[in-house]
Amino acid sequence: MGESMPGSAALAGGRDGHRRLAELIPLVLNGLADGTAERGGAGPAGGPAAVAAGVAALTGAAPLAAATGVGAEQALTELSRLLAAGSVDPADPACAAHLHCPPLAVAVAADVVASALNPSMDSWDQAPVASELERELVTLVARLCYPGATAPDAVVTTGGTESNLLGLLLAREPNPAVRPVCGRNAHHSVARAAWLLGLPAPVLVDCDGERMRPSALDETVRGLGSPAVVVATAGTTDTGEIDPLRDLAQVCRRHGARLHVDASYGGLALCSAKLKPLLDGIADADSVALDAHKFGWQPISAGLLAVREAADLAALSVRAEYLNAGDDTEAGLPDLLGRSIRTSRRPDAFRMAVTLRALGLDGMGALVEHCCDTAAEVAGMIDRHPGLRLWGAPTLSTVLFKPVDADDELVARVRRTLLEAGTAIVGRATMSDGVWLKLTLLHPHAKAEDYRPLLESVVATADAVRLPESAAVR
């Protein structure tokens, strides 16, 4: 650090950290405001080349990490603005491709104090109150999944990928010969988890449309000849559909198979009395994956894995003398190491706790309902639009559609054209009948009408992309 900028190395915590943060945070907020205004739309215009050129323009003038730094003020001002100008912003309704939520301001603000104090969740002596808050938060979430259980529990993960890995790990621990089984609609992380754990690739079960067929699961598990762990999905990635959980749980029970429900997308619908019936049967699962960085509106990452009984997590316990020595645990220091496969771990539960306290469960449920209701309305708008075709009625907040008379190539080109222009960020889903455009609506306030410009851009772009070809034919 140069002496010219002593403040660049100031700490965030301690008695005076808040003063330095009070100087720096406004710079970040100005950068956010200026960069957002500069961008103008949902995403940066010009695609990867323009974004790379924007970064090069800044680092060309002063390398990212030269021998002498530019100081905290300049670094924050320039790079915050660059980040905002070159980001896709999920708080813009036209940014609707993925399960990529616009975080709530309350959650982001909570992250400031969590980051300043930096509790690490691997031992009580690094996270006294953060670990206690985490315990309350995870118990609350576990009770949502298992309302009838005596001691349900949950652990915080980085997201559905890690939760699915843990779900399969808990199935394998008592039973190394366990065979993973999942629907053809399952998330790719299920197969990856099997691979990481040294298990055979999952046996794939046929679906009715996009939902796992219980009779097909029954046949598969019956013919397996070894114990199974079945992964069902509550909110599929392509269409947001929910497997018939109660029927699948019955099949699992009949064959003594374990059931893990990947509710990374749909899980937080449990906060809504109106939507909860969609997840009927989820309490019959042995483990449930949920993501609060989808419905939940947390900054990444905010995953959870819930189990019916706390003892079900015993397989994760591990002893490291420097973190959870036996005599420390006996003397009453909580043992946190067995609550994750990670060691150092961010207090992601803190902002989830702040958010739930601020909104209440009903408030959270209302946001989920808003997204699902809006998706139904947008689907109606698409269905009535002469230039668009709707794939089907949405279950949660995912809407598949395409321009009329569009082949796969046209659909893909429309998506890329809108992305490159920064006009709209739309997803894609490859279904049995070809490629569709996908909207995954996670904006908790946008109204159906706010999506009309996006729909019109799709129609206009499809017409524009079609033109040169028809001109060439002539």
Ligand X SMILES: *Cc1c(COP(=O)(O)O)cnc(C)c1O
* Cβ atoms within 10 Å of 97's Cβ, excluding its own: 22
The interface region with ligand X, picked from 51-59, 261-269, 337-345, 450-458 by CB under 6 A, is: 261-269
SS3 for 203? strand
Total number of residues that touch ligand X (CB under 6 A): 14
Q: What does each C-alpha distance from 164 to 255, 288, 347 come to in angstroms?
A: 21, 8, 20
Considering the rule CB under 6 A, would residue 427 count as an interface residue with ligand X? no
Q: How far is the CB of 217 from ligand X (least distance, A)?
A: 17
Say whether 88 sits in a helix, a strand or coil. Answer: coil
Q: How many angstroms separate the CA atoms of 55 and 354, rounded?
A: 35
Is 187 near ligand X (CB under 6 A)? Answer: yes
Minimum Å gap between C-beta 463 and ligand X is 33
Piece of 104-112, 199-207, 229-237, 268-276 that binds ligand X (CB under 6 A):
229-237
Q: What is the C-alpha separation between 318 and 354, in angstroms, rounded?
A: 30
Q: Does 262 bind ligand X (CB under 6 A)?
A: yes
H helical segments located in 119-185 = 128-145, 160-172
In this structure, are strands 287-291 and 303-307 parallel, antiparallel, or unpaired? antiparallel
- Is residue 410 within a helix (H) or strand (E), and if so which, with residue range? helix 408-421
For CA atoms 341, 11, 302, 145, give the dihedral sign: positive
> Cα dihedral angle (183, 188, 193, 199), rounded to 10 degrees?
50
Least distance between ligand X and beta carbon 298 (Å) = 11
Rounded to an integer, what is the distance from CA 89 to the centroid of its chain? 15
Closest CB 239 distance from ligand X, rounded Å:
11
Using CB under 6 A as the criterion, what x/- string covers residues 271-310 for binding ligand X?
Answer: --------------------x-----------x-------
**CA–CA separation, 189 vs 133, rounded Å?**
29
- If one asks whether residue 264 binds ligand X (CB under 6 A), the answer comes out as yes
**Residues 226, 255: contact at Cβ < 8 Å?**
no
233 binds ligand X (CB under 6 A): yes
CA 312 to chain CA centroid, Å, is: 25
Shortest approach of ligand X to residue 160 CB, angstroms?
3
Tell me if 141 contacts ligand X by CB under 6 A: no
Nearer to ligand X, 237 or 461 (CB): 237
Judged by CB under 6 A, the stretch of 11-19, 221-229, 259-267, 414-422 that binds ligand X is 259-267
Return the residue of 124, 265, 295, 391 that touches ligand X, per CB under 6 A.
Answer: 265
Residues 450-469 that bind ligand X (CB under 6 A): none
Instruction: Give me the least distance between CB of 464 and ligand X, in Å please.
Output: 33
Stretch that binds ligand X, among 27-35, 248-256, 258-266, 350-358 (CB under 6 A): 258-266
Work out which of 237, 355, 395, 440 binds ligand X, going by CB under 6 A: 237
Q: Tell me: does residue 210 bind ligand X (CB under 6 A).
A: no
- Which structure tokens are listed for 140? 């609350």
Helices within 273-402 (DSSP H only): 321-324, 326-330, 348-384
Report, in Å, the least distance between residue 456 CB and ligand X. 29
Nearest to 438 by CA among 407, 410, 411, 466: 411
Q: Select from 123, 161, 239, 287 the one that contacts ligand X (CB under 6 A).
A: 161
Query: Could you say whether residue 185 binds ligand X (CB under 6 A)?
Result: no
CB of 324 to ligand X, least distance (A): 27
Q: Does 401 bind ligand X (CB under 6 A)?
A: no
From CA 228, how far away is CA 281, in angstroms rounded? 19
From 90, 235, 347, 365, residue interacting with ligand X (rule: CB under 6 A): 235
Which of the residues 62 through 121 are near ligand X (CB under 6 A)?
99
List the beta strands (DSSP E) in 369-470. Answer: 388-390, 398-403, 427-431, 434-440
| Chain contacts with ligand X (rule: CB under 6 A) | 99, 159-161, 187, 189, 233, 235, 237, 262, 264-265, 291, 303
